[in-house]
């Protein structure tokens, strides 16, 4: 049996002789790979890179030994207070992990924060910066760098806000939802200081978008506001969130979102003025309907009331037909 097998093998080999290991094609490929990698990764190329990076032009007391790996080397110096510079692969890992975590636990603030910063690619923020620079108010915001925190907002509570003003609407909404104004997490992982400020401003204005549209802070309200932000401001995380987040919801919630609230958000976001150019601190005393008109937004149906109504209806129908 074994002999037969080996005879067959020899016969097969005789018919189709295997090509020798060291053939012409192999040698050519090996030479080409060798040359290419020499010119890309070889010592000369490394030397050229080092000269271009200024390693040999600024003599310093630090040793220029390139053979040891510096475990604590960071991509750049911190550009602003609280800046944590990350390498590209670290940012990508943060994106993967935080997107998975945010999908299952969107209530945890850290996940959303990390997802937002890892997906805020420079070209989107640069685009936003140009939009702000073109506008009068946006320019002033970039120059004066106002900061919205819980202290600055509480200060408005004391001042005489006329009824029906933006400030009054905001505080009424806070009381309705049972929360207080909270300071948003600082920006850490975005490299350019201007972009970091723009992202911080975007985060801090999030509550105002809730208040001016009377959207609650449950998951549906958050998705709606995210969709509005996505269509108006164009932050990638908002776009991703408004597409993927509804998948986890119950049927009734999904229906409400897809039928009423997401279409409203898309229409409002695309047709209104850029919300990033609104100087909220200055319009706290202004009439809220005036502000809504000037921005081109209008309120959606009251989400809390709608939910209550639909729940009551469902219960009634259930009782009636499942007797």
Question: Taking CB under 8 A as the rule, does residue 233 contact another protein?
Answer: no
Would the annotation count 222 as a binding residue? yes
- Residue 270's alpha-carbon distances to 121, 253, 275, 287, in angstroms, are 21, 24, 11, 23
Question: Taking CB under 8 A as the rule, does residue 196 contact another protein?
Answer: no
Would the annotation count 206 as a binding residue? yes
Residues 6+ apart with CB under 8 A from 315: none
Question: Taking CB under 8 A as the rule, does residue 272 contact another protein?
Answer: no
Question: Taking CB under 8 A as the rule, does residue 135 contact another protein?
Answer: yes
Q: Using CB under 8 A, which residues numbered 19 to 58 contact another protein?
A: 54
- Contact at 8 Å (CB) between 235 and 209? no
In the complex, the smallest distance separating the C-beta of residue 133 from another protein, rounded to whole angstroms, is 3
What tokens appear for 235 in the block? Answer: 């932050």
Quick one: which segment of 136-144, 157-165, 284-292, 302-310 binds another protein (CB under 8 A)?
136-144
Q: Residue 271: name the closest of 263, 279, 280, 259 by CA.
A: 263
- Whose tokens are 């958050």? That residue is 222
Look at residue 76 and give its three-state secondary structure: coil
List 139, 248, 311, 314, residue binding another protein (CB under 8 A): 139
Question: Taking CB under 8 A as the rule, does residue 133 contact another protein?
Answer: yes
Quick one: which segment of 130-138, 146-154, 156-164, 213-221 binds another protein (CB under 8 A)?
130-138
In the complex, the smallest distance separating the C-beta of residue 115 from another protein, rounded to whole angstroms, is 25
Quick one: which segment of 123-131, 215-223, 275-283, 300-308 binds another protein (CB under 8 A)?
123-131
**Residues found near another protein in the complex (CB under 8 A):** 54, 79, 129-136, 139, 143, 193-194
Q: State the binding site for Zn(2+).
A: 206-207, 210, 222
- Binding site as annotated, residues: 206-207, 210, 222
């Amino acid at each position: 049996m074994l002999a037969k097998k080996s005879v067959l093998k020899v016969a097969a080999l005789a018919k189709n002789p295997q090509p020798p290991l060291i053939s012409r094609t192999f040698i050519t490929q090996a030479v080409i790979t060798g040359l290419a990698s020499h010119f890309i990764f070889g010592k000369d190329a490394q030397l050229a890179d080092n000269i271009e990076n200024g390693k040999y032009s600024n003599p310093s007391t630090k040793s220029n030994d390139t053979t040891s790996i510096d475990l604590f080397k960071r991509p750049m110096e911190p550009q602003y207070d609280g800046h944590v510079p990350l390498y590209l692969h670290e940012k990508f890992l943060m994106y993967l992990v935080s997107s998975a975590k945010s999908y299952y636990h969107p209530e945890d603030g850290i996940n959303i924060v990390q997802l937002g910063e890892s997906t805020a690619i420079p070209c989107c923020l640069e685009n936003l910066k140009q939009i702000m620079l073109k506008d009068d108010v946006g320019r002033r915001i970039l120059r004066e760098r106002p900061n919205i925190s819980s202290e600055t907002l509480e200060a408005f509570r004391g001042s005489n806000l006329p009824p029906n003003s933006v400030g009054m609407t905001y505080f009424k909404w806070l009381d309705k939802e049972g929360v207080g104004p909270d300071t948003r997490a600082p920006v850490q992982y975005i490299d350019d200081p201007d972009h970091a400020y723009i992202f911080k401003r975007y985060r801090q204005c999030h509550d105002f978008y809730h208040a001016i549209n009377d959207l609650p802070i449950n998951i549906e309200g958050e998705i709606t506001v995210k969709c509005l932000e996505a269509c108006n401001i164009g932050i990638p995380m908002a776009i991703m969130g408004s597409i993927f987040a509804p998948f986890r919801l119950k049927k009734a919630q999904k229906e409400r979102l897809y039928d009423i609230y997401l279409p409203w958000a898309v229409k409002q976001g695309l047709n209104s003025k850029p919300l990033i150019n609104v100087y909220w601190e200055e319009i706290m005393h202004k009439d809220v309907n005036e502000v809504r008109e000037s921005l081109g937004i209008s309120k959606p149906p009251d989400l809390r009331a709608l939910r209550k109504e639909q729940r009551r209806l469902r219960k009634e129908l259930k009782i009636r037909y499942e007797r």
